[in-house]
Structure 1
Amino acid sequence: MKQIKYWLVSAFCMASFSTTMAQNTYWSRVEKRESTLGVADVYQKFETPDFKLKLVRASQTVAALSPNSDPYFDFTPGDRLEIRDKDSLYHLGDINLRIKEANGIWKSYSTATSRAKVEPLETVGNVLAAADLANTLPTDIPVIIRRYYELDNDQLVMRFEITNKQDKPLEIGALGVPMVFNNILEGKSLVETHAQNVFFDPYIGKDAGYLEVKRLSGRGPALLVLPKENMSFEAYRPLLDDPTPKSIVFEGFHEWMAYSKAYSENEWKGVEQWNEPTSLVLQPNETKSFALKFVVTEGIKNIQETLVKEKHPVAVGVPGYVLPQDVEGQLFIDYNKGVASITVEPTGALEIKENGTTALGKKKYHVQGKKWGRARLTITYTDDTEQTINYKIIKPETEVIEDFGHFLTTEQWFDDPNDPFGRNPSPISYDYEKKEKVVQDGRVWISGLSDEGGAGSWLAAVMKQLVQPDKDEIQKLQGFVDETLWGGIQNNEGPNKYGVKKSLFYYEPDSLPKGTYSDKINFDTWAAWDHKHANNPGRSYNYPHVAAAYWVMYRLSRYYKDLVDNRSWDWYLQNAYHTSVAMVEQAPYYAQFGQMEGSVFLFILEDLKHEGLTEMASDLEARMKERADHWRALDYPFGSEMPWDSTGQEEVYMWSSYFGYDRKAYVTLSAILAYMPTMPHWGYNGNARRYWDFLYGGKAGETSRVERQIHHYGSSLNAIPVLSHYRKDPEDLYLLKVGYGGLLGGISNITQDGFGPAAFHSYPSTLKIDGISGDYGSGFYGYAVNTSSYLTKDEDMGWLAFGGNLSQKEAFIELEPTTAARSRVFIAPKKLWLTLDAGSFKKVVYNNKTGDVTLTLDSKGTHVPYAYLRVEGMDVDLPYKKVRGAYQIELGKKETEVKL
């Protein structure tokens, strides 16, 4: 059967390949024919070994940039050129500057502001096209700017030559090159966007920096933009003056900045930047070149390999760049030059020590976080190349989660028995800047305990108990379940029983006493739902939050002693089941899409099976299979309320994998990798793209905007399928780096005192956490169900630990987990997945010669008399009773050792 399936796939691929080859041959013959339409008067076309380049003749800006391996794909928004042919709209090939004389003021200049035909220059040697840009710049600009498209060792280079034409020095305080690629999704179907559009991610790492440009499908060749000459990647500025409307279908364009001092003194004043802002003094008549080169890489997973071939510094951090203080991190540097110096800012924030080299010559370092907060590592190489690596140092995960749970159940605990909206008691949204609970907001869901933006706080408080149960916190949450969730947020009677409301808070001033609503809030918007709209159960995305809460309370009741005493375990599990069914029945339209936290339905199904609740399990599985069959029939089933989204992939992957729809699971994973990079920067490593939820879940005001969000809930949610797939394919270290970056990114923004914000703002004018808790709970769900330790071995870098510290003595590899739960361990060489439903691992020892594994479990606790061990990937017959598919291991006053 497998052979037949393989043949069918192969036949399909061969047919597609043959068709593509025939089309390419046809178009190749067409292109050789004489041009008679006059397009040659409008465009210039060039072919390099890697690209087909098309320039607008009048401006010599890029009209199209296509890889030769896929010549009908355009990295740029060339399909909208006729719409975007106006003043102030940026194109690849533009440049922005801020310049001043001594003791003068900064003046801004841009080739995009007022378009005019540029003056072409004679081309010689490897120059493809060149122009003097004076005509498209203000007449008072004190420099001459020429732009060249040229080949250097057969690679496409865009170079700007800047000459000071005055008899006095000039300071260039800002120099930016707009990175205009085709991320405009407006008006396109999901199939079209995945075929035609790209996303791009910056490594803002000075001379070692680069930009990744990847198509939404995650397949096909990718583009790397690299510094060639004097183009250190110092800052990444949003081009807010480009009038292309930003929205849920357009994140906006950014520019690569080599100098940013002029902005740091003005718009970004007082904001700690990723890199130290600098400027350049250009002497009279001095000329300096600034160049970027464009490189094709075979695919996303080949980026690092391509960087090495380009002799570009490559850094790999383990477990990443979010570094808990109790983790012994590692850093590997691959560069053909020596290290001249390493500095740390702030001083003492990181401790870094040399640790020799790998077999293939990578430089090895031990890295330990010492001071909480952001830290910048600057490596200067012997050729004066400078690389920066941005870390985020956090407390040990155990402390982070402990602080988080405490904050949610104290500072965020809402306890007003006179609340007219029935929100008492509950963890409620919180304004960290004002240090107060958000009991009213013009977007009613924010203070209404539903939707992601309102349910976030109570969902996080419940999910915290899955990782680190606390009796006192659970007692409070039981009150929330009995008084606020069941019969409040969720209907407990009538025709809509188990339906989940959109919001408990609503705006209906005529039905409530005068003074109920603040006169300082604008309720005159679509987001101020009245009582009828707030009660609507038709939004499917509200159901997973409720189902997850019941599921966690079931687990606490079933596997721990005396933690839950308000309801029986079966009440919680059955309510989880009924909530899952209600989503399909009462919110069918949006239920056709993957849900954020939708993986919880799979966890519920597994527990229904463990409990022998066959009828419920069969019903739930059939309903979920119907949804998965629908996704299987679609090319890219990743929609939501938004035209494109990065949340449904989590559930689509999990069910596709569960039902054996491997091709759809692969398509889903590839799409995730297109918007979830790995790079040496804590903010972007594993950061799944989200850019509109500051509008819906962030703080109202000036930061409520379309903006790339740093470690919003997409990071840890998308880490679920990425790490799940890694456990199937543990040879693929790329997946582990991406997935673990997203996992730890999910807790990176929690403050020292335990507040969990919606996300971190990426704009260089802000670079701080958002002011309210908002929809953070969905992200914490991703961390809670996925936190785990990984032991793996790389051919060159050796034994590596993600989520723990390792030591080696002869053939014995010891892993000491450092995660908050310490309940999950994956041993990659054996594809061995060890999980505990209760209890925790003290250490795991793997014998690299015999393959034997020895587990050491922590001693019993007040609520943990037994550990419940599940073993996947290895046939074992342990001398313990099996309960619901897990080995029940009685714990003692001392640690318990289990040999597999």
Structure 2
Amino acid sequence: MINQRLQKSLILILFMVLAFKGHSQEYWDNITGRPSTLGVEKGFVEVKTAQFHLKLVKASQTVAGLAPAEDTTFNFTPGERLKIRDKDSLYHLGDINLMLKTGQGQWKDYSSAYTRKPVSQISSEGNILAASDMANTFPKDIPLSIKRYYENDNGDLVLRFVLTNPGKESVEIGALGIPMVFNNILEGKSLDEAHADNVFFDPYIGMDAGYLEVKHLNGKGTALLVLPQENMPFQAYRPLLNDPTRRSIVFEGFHEWMPLSKAYAETQWKGVKQWNTPTSTVLQPGEKRDFAIKFVLAKNIREIQQTVLKNKMPVAVGIPGYVLPQDVDGRLFVKSPSEVKKITIKPEGAVSIRKKETLKNGYVEYMVEGQQWGRARIVIEYKDGKQQTINYKIIKPEAEVIANLGNFLTTKQWFDNEKDPFNRAPSVISYDYEAKQQVAQDSRAWIAGLSDEGGAGSWLAAMMKQYAQPDKDEIEKLSGFVHKTLWGGIQYADGKNKYGVKKSMFYYQPDSMPKNTYNDTVNYKTWAAWNHKHANDPGRSYNYPHVTAAYWVMYRLARYHTKLVTEKPWNWYLKQAYHTAIAMTKLAPYYAQFGQMEGTVFLCVLKDLQHEGLDELALDLEQKMKARADHWKSLNYPFGSEMPWDSTGQEEVFMWSDYFGYAGKANVTLNAILAYMPTMPHWAYNGNARRYWDFLYGGKLSRVERQIHHYGSALNAIPVLKAYQNSPNDFYLLKVGYGGLMGGIANITEDGFGPAAFHSFPQTLAIDYLSGDYGSGFFGYAVNSASYLTKTANFGWVSFGGNIKAEKKQVEMSLTTAARNKVFIAPEALLITLDAGSMDKVIYNEEKRRVILYLNPKNEYTPNAYIRTNKKIELPFKKDKGAFLIPLKNSIQPIEIQL
């Protein structure tokens, strides 16, 4: 039976790939009718350096191919699409965009891509590989002369533009951008092809210390870095929305690197706080200026920062990252060829920073503390004239952030309209933060329908908040939701689809509903306005983890606390979670073949079934999950989903591969995650797992756009931090994973609203106003939150999720997470987890290999702590299903663990 199911799954995957490829012509219909102007038919010029093989279109001298010298079969740019993308207004690497103003005139924009004409070649000599005068491809009224040079710089590649003012008036350059055109077009590709051919790229928008990293989708091989060479501080990163290549779920779009952006700040971006201060520059008559970027190769993703250092650029490492709670002692390590001249804070007073010491390895350590909630920027000026910016997000202490979130969800978003015709009360419903109102109707049925990610997100967040920080009043409300709305409403309670999960409680079927049920201001003439039959469909597997998580949380609250859950005994909730997981494999078998967002919850349920001795149920669930994992093991890249490419299935694929001992597949999965989840000194991109289409499905401002800390960040942090626990010497994994974990709460507002994500486009740079699918990410934060204590080669003892005091062989860590229920001691690879109770601090003696936990006092609902570890330990307390049961006291209580 399993083999037949897998065979059917493979056939369906093949059908998806072929069907998607069949839409290739339609995808390009908007540009294929345009005349070819790039001059591809006139041939190419190919040149080499020690590191690169460069292929240029001879007529335009734009890049047709950029390959590492060691692998000339690979192309970082979309050269494979050249015969389609050879039209006006389609950008290529080697183009340049400008906004110029003479005298008191208006800004006028120019681009080498708008009206293609062959450029005039300039003779090359010395280190110049190719050169051209670009005058032909610009309008005659452009007030500047522009020449372009490709240069060999000791084996690396430099792209240089020389701008000269030949006129009699000064010219202000209000915007200058170099399009970063690399091969991120996934259209028509199978997953195997995409991981072999395509790249993703991430910007560190950090001025003279900024760079762009370009990585293979498979996470292997060399990484391409774009660095500032001359007059090219990474000031802004602008989406090239006028490139007609269709942006969609298979193409995020291209962006340009901007060293100057004042003209946009005064026009299209007016009133929006940018990552860096927008500037312009003036060329006086007869003056010329060079603008150059440099391309270098890092051996692999982990070597990116070291490669930046080798190229004599400043680097910074923030611990525990750049989302900084106000009660955390932040540490910033800076290394630069030049000494620091001056440090300023924008806005003034947002953070405090003081130098602590200079380490023997050349890093300078600073202590950073968040003072004001919101975005903050540290500006470092070096004596050599370079400037580096580090963008932080200052948040309240985690416990306050989570408490505010829980309160907002169970008050502002609490839906208790008993006359609701769709029977959604009581529940936590979607919310529009801009309108300050609940979303009871939406053209996307799921948003108002309490299911799918965009509708279940809010109640899922409310449930997971109780796992991290139980609140009796909130739990009583949510218990009503579980028993009145979830079971028998969102989820079938009887009939042939028992335990099936509907796609939406809300639907559009006016002929069967009372008059005036539907708001006439909502456009229901879309595919997303599901009718009753479609809304009741239990066939979308992605809805099942949300429901499973709700039951699992209720089980944990009933099992390990007293008087928090009274409606049913703990085993009822655990069995509900089990039945829901099993129902997914039976009622939604097609999508169940893929990794699920929050699929980690199934592993949590399995482990608790095993703990409780429910062996028959545990074995059944384990077998069902192993059949899925065996299928993934058979694939090269088992990351399929309902989308052609996705960044959410990797979480569950890794966790089950790790559980069943499929180390090779777990490693393939981890490498793919690291390809789209960077670490860099900027809160928005550090640990930000790539997602760019879910504003269409779960946002208010609907567009294809790189989302800042969408739910993928915290979900992908689950496998990354699990991989770190498996390999505690790999500090890179801790930086990436913790960045994603904290990204899961970075966008919560001061009053507790959890938005779908943050908009990255410079014309917005603000949260989306719809709650949408936020809860999936909060699941990742809640189950994965932990405090990490580790000793690093470069920085000594450091902590993530706690403040430390280190002495010779002993270190004390005061916990700062919201739950304070999990600690990882890296030198011992020791994970300590509390099923109930919390820790105030932990002391670790490296020499004596001793850990002392300081448990917080008992309260009305938590009289006992339950301690589990991933290693065998001895404690003078009895065990309860594998956990040490420790009666709590009225004061802080030390527990000693000798390893």
Task: Give 1:210's aligned amino acid.
Answer: Y
Counterpart in the other structure of 2:883:
886
Task: Give 1:881's aligned amino acid.
Answer: K
Deviations 1:832-865 (A, max 9, x none): 1000000001110001211111111001111110
Counterpart in the other structure of 1:816:
814
Counterpart in the other structure of 2:663:
662
Contact 2:40–2:83 (8 Å) recurs in 1: no
Counterpart in the other structure of 1:88:
89
Task: Give 1:270's aligned amino acid.
Answer: G
Once the two structures are TM-superposed, the CA of residue 884 in structure 1 deviates from its matched residue by 1.4
Once the two structures are TM-superposed, the CA of residue 258 in structure 1 deviates from its matched residue by 0.7
CA distance in 1, matches of 2:678, 2:637: 20
CA distance in 1, matches of 2:654, 2:368: 34
Once the two structures are TM-superposed, the CA of residue 40 in structure 1 deviates from its matched residue by 10
Deviations 1:381-410 (A, max 9, x none): 010100000000000000000000000000
**Aligned ranges for residues 242-253 of structure 1 at < 5 Å?**
242-253=243-254
Matched, 1:793 2:784: no
Aligned residues: 859
* Partner SS, residue 498 of structure 1: coil
* Partner SS, residue 59 of structure 2: coil
Counterpart in the other structure of 2:648:
647
Counterpart in the other structure of 2:781:
783
CA distance in 1, matches of 2:560, 2:846: 33
CA distance in 2, matches of 1:842, 1:531: 51
CA distance in 2, matches of 1:713, 1:608: 27
Task: Give 2:78's aligned amino acid.
Answer: P
Counterpart in the other structure of 1:573:
574
Task: Give 1:766's aligned amino acid.
Answer: T
Counterpart in the other structure of 1:516:
517
Counterpart in the other structure of 1:168:
169
Matched, 1:366 2:363: no
Task: Give 1:493's aligned amino acid.
Answer: D
CA distance in 1, matches of 2:546, 2:555: 14
Task: Give 1:846's aligned amino acid.
Answer: Y
Contact 2:199–2:215 (8 Å) recurs in 1: yes
Once the two structures are TM-superposed, the CA of residue 153 in structure 1 deviates from its matched residue by 2.6
Once the two structures are TM-superposed, the CA of residue 808 in structure 1 deviates from its matched residue by 1.8
Task: Give 2:616's aligned amino acid.
Answer: E
Contact 1:546–1:576 (8 Å) recurs in 2: yes
CA spacing shift, 1:40–1:771, aligned 2, 3 Å: closer
* Partner SS, residue 746 of structure 2: coil
Counterpart in the other structure of 1:19:
none
Once the two structures are TM-superposed, the CA of residue 809 in structure 1 deviates from its matched residue by 3.2
* Partner SS, residue 771 of structure 1: coil
Matched, 1:184 2:185: yes
Task: Give 1:244's aligned amino acid.
Answer: T
Contact 1:880–1:887 (8 Å) recurs in 2: yes
Contact 2:706–2:759 (8 Å) recurs in 1: yes
Task: Give 1:47's aligned amino acid.
Answer: K
* Partner SS, residue 625 of structure 1: helix
Moved more, 471-480 or 40-49: 40-49
CA distance in 2, matches of 1:831, 1:70: 38
Task: Give 2:885's aligned amino acid.
Answer: Q
Contact 1:846–1:853 (8 Å) recurs in 2: yes
Matched, 1:532 2:501: no
CA distance in 2, matches of 1:216, 1:691: 15
For structure 1, the residue ranges without an aligned partner over 5 or more in a row are 1-37
Deviations 1:487-517 (A, max 9, x none): 0000000000000000000000010111000
Deviations 1:20-71 (A, max 9, x none): xxxxxxxxxxxxxxxxxx9995000011100100000000000000001221
CA spacing shift, 1:497–1:126, aligned 2, 3 Å: same
- What's the Cα RMSD here? 0.9
Q: Which of 871, 874, 877 is the aligned partner of 1:877? A: 874
Moved more, 664-673 or 846-855: 846-855
TM-score (norm 2): 0.95
Counterpart in the other structure of 2:727:
729
Once the two structures are TM-superposed, the CA of residue 358 in structure 1 deviates from its matched residue by 1.6
Counterpart in the other structure of 1:740:
738
Counterpart in the other structure of 1:868:
866
Contact 2:132–2:148 (8 Å) recurs in 1: yes
Task: Give 1:639's aligned amino acid.
Answer: G
Task: Give 1:889's aligned amino acid.
Answer: I
Counterpart in the other structure of 1:834:
832
**Aligned ranges for residues 582-593 of structure 1 at < 5 Å?**
582-593=583-594
**Aligned ranges for residues 32-51 of structure 1 at < 5 Å?**
41-51=42-52
Task: Give 1:115's aligned amino acid.
Answer: R
Task: Give 2:601's aligned amino acid.
Answer: V
Contact 1:478–1:566 (8 Å) recurs in 2: yes
Counterpart in the other structure of 1:257:
258
TM-score (norm 1): 0.95
Contact 1:359–1:796 (8 Å) recurs in 2: no
Once the two structures are TM-superposed, the CA of residue 359 in structure 1 deviates from its matched residue by 2.0
* Partner SS, residue 884 of structure 2: strand
CA distance in 2, matches of 1:101, 1:851: 71
Counterpart in the other structure of 2:803:
805
CA spacing shift, 1:39–1:744, aligned 2, 3 Å: closer
* Partner SS, residue 807 of structure 1: strand
CA distance in 1, matches of 2:869, 2:76: 46
CA distance in 1, matches of 2:468, 2:359: 36
Task: Give 1:723's aligned amino acid.
Answer: L
CA distance in 2, matches of 1:854, 1:546: 37
Contact 1:56–1:62 (8 Å) recurs in 2: yes
Q: Which of 826, 829, 844 is the aligned partner of 1:846? A: 844
Once the two structures are TM-superposed, the CA of residue 207 in structure 1 deviates from its matched residue by 0.5
CA distance in 2, matches of 1:795, 1:720: 25
Contact 2:676–2:689 (8 Å) recurs in 1: yes
Counterpart in the other structure of 2:108:
107
CA distance in 2, matches of 1:781, 1:771: 20
CA distance in 1, matches of 2:475, 2:42: 73
Counterpart in the other structure of 2:347:
346
Counterpart in the other structure of 2:22:
none
**Aligned ranges for residues 739-758 of structure 1 at < 5 Å?**
739-758=737-756
Counterpart in the other structure of 1:34:
none
Counterpart in the other structure of 1:280:
281
* Partner SS, residue 225 of structure 1: strand
Contact 1:561–1:863 (8 Å) recurs in 2: yes
Deviations 1:193-237 (A, max 9, x none): 000000000000000000000010000111000000000100000
* Partner SS, residue 780 of structure 1: helix
Once the two structures are TM-superposed, the CA of residue 102 in structure 1 deviates from its matched residue by 2.1
CA distance in 1, matches of 2:309, 2:71: 24
Deviations 1:266-289 (A, max 9, x none): 100000000000000111010100
CA distance in 2, matches of 1:618, 1:358: 53
**Aligned ranges for residues 165-564 of structure 1 at < 5 Å?**
165-564=166-565
For structure 2, the residue ranges without an aligned partner over 5 or more in a row are 1-38
Once the two structures are TM-superposed, the CA of residue 343 in structure 1 deviates from its matched residue by 0.2
Once the two structures are TM-superposed, the CA of residue 795 in structure 1 deviates from its matched residue by 1.3
Contact 1:164–1:285 (8 Å) recurs in 2: yes
Deviations 1:157-200 (A, max 9, x none): 00000001111111000000000000000000000000000000
Counterpart in the other structure of 1:7:
none
Once the two structures are TM-superposed, the CA of residue 374 in structure 1 deviates from its matched residue by 0.1
CA distance in 2, matches of 1:359, 1:829: 22
CA distance in 2, matches of 1:40, 1:792: 58
* Partner SS, residue 836 of structure 2: coil
Once the two structures are TM-superposed, the CA of residue 896 in structure 1 deviates from its matched residue by 1.2
Counterpart in the other structure of 2:34:
none
CA distance in 2, matches of 1:566, 1:70: 63
Counterpart in the other structure of 2:70:
69
* Partner SS, residue 271 of structure 1: coil
* Partner SS, residue 784 of structure 2: coil
Moved more, 457-466 or 849-858: 849-858
Contact 2:40–2:59 (8 Å) recurs in 1: no
Task: Give 1:169's aligned amino acid.
Answer: S
Once the two structures are TM-superposed, the CA of residue 438 in structure 1 deviates from its matched residue by 0.2
Between the two proteins, what is the percent identity of the paired residues? 66
CA distance in 1, matches of 2:675, 2:335: 24
CA distance in 2, matches of 1:756, 1:334: 36
Once the two structures are TM-superposed, the CA of residue 883 in structure 1 deviates from its matched residue by 0.6
Task: Give 2:571's aligned amino acid.
Answer: D
CA distance in 2, matches of 1:144, 1:39: 25
Once the two structures are TM-superposed, the CA of residue 335 in structure 1 deviates from its matched residue by 0.9
* Partner SS, residue 651 of structure 1: helix
